[in-house]
Amino acid sequence: MSRHVIVLIIASNRNRHPLIKGRSLKRQSILCRPVVYIMESATRCDIHIGNGRYVRVQEWKGDLRVDIREWDKKIPTKKGVSLPLGRWKHFVESVETIDDALNTKYLEFYNNHLGGNVYCTVEGVCVDIRQYWKPADTVIPTRKGICLRADEYKRLKDSIPQIGQTLPELDAFVPCYLQSDHQNQLGMLSCAECNPNDSQNL
Ligand SMILES: [Zn+2]
């Protein structure tokens, strides 16, 4: 397991900070240095799927995510998507239909809602996993996402068992759409994961 250190720097405000107020200027100058908090994110697995693109299982403050991303000299780019457990599980369960869409020339445009505003689409030989947003009546793609070429998708798909071994939590994870509050339509419509753009208007 490798570890990445995330450093958050919070500049303190000498006039408002209750511990600093009223102290000597010299003491204040010491206290007013930026406060540095060090938090660690753990990477459970790190698999290269080709062309500088990696799939990583990351844990940060108890939040587990599967990150599929292009990196540029060890720096993450915007080309990528970070999937929480529910969305990753949905993707894994969709592999068969994605393969059908890739192998069937005459299939209509494949579009699978993974949760929130994240969708998986198949365009030609590419599998696109992307964040969308809804400015009007329909959702449109943003630049946050990744279009996987055929060989990258194949490596990602082949890595699913290996990723699963590092994600024992996935077996016990129950997607929101299988939970009791989704048994009636209103429950599902008011869920931000299933109905992200209108759930707050109900
Ligand atoms: Zn839901």
Give the pLDDT confidence of 145-186 residue by residue, as tens digits: 999 999 999 999 999 999 999 999 999 999 998 899 998 888
Give the model's confidence band at 15: pLDDT under 50 very low, under 70 low, under 90 confident, else very high: very low
C-alpha 175 to ligand 1 mean position (Å): 7
C-alpha 201 to ligand 1 mean position (Å): 15
**CA-based angle 155:157:160, to the nearest 5?**
110
Domain residues for the domain of 130 are 42-201
Q: For position 105, what pLDDT does the model report?
A: 65
User: Looking at the structure, do residues 34 and 104 belong to the same domain, yes or no?
Assistant: no
Q: Which residues line ion ligand 1, judged by CB < 5 Å? A: 176, 191, 193-194
C-alpha 59 to ligand 1 mean position (Å): 22
User: Looking at the structure, do residues 46 and 136 belong to the same domain, yes or no?
Assistant: yes
The answer to whether 140 touches 133, Cβ cutoff 8 Å, is yes
User: Looking at the structure, do residues 27 and 59 belong to the same domain, yes or no?
Assistant: no
Distance CA 129, CA 45 (A): 20
C-alpha 184 to ligand 1 mean position (Å): 11
User: Looking at the structure, do residues 66 and 152 belong to the same domain, yes or no?
Assistant: yes
Rounded to the nearest angstrom, the gap between the alpha carbon of residue 156 and the centroid of all alpha carbons in its chain is 15
Instruction: Quote the number of domains for the chain.
Output: 2
User: Looking at the structure, do residues 35 and 101 belong to the same domain, yes or no?
Assistant: no
pLDDT of 139 above 90: no
User: Looking at the structure, do residues 89 and 143 belong to the same domain, yes or no?
Assistant: yes
User: Looking at the structure, do residues 97 and 3 belong to the same domain, yes or no?
Assistant: no
Q: For position 29, what pLDDT does the model report?
A: 45
User: Looking at the structure, do residues 177 and 91 belong to the same domain, yes or no?
Assistant: yes
C-alpha 143 to ligand 1 mean position (Å): 25
Distance CA 146, CA 143 (A): 8
DSSP run (H or E) holding 97: helix 95-103
C-alpha 122 to ligand 1 mean position (Å): 23
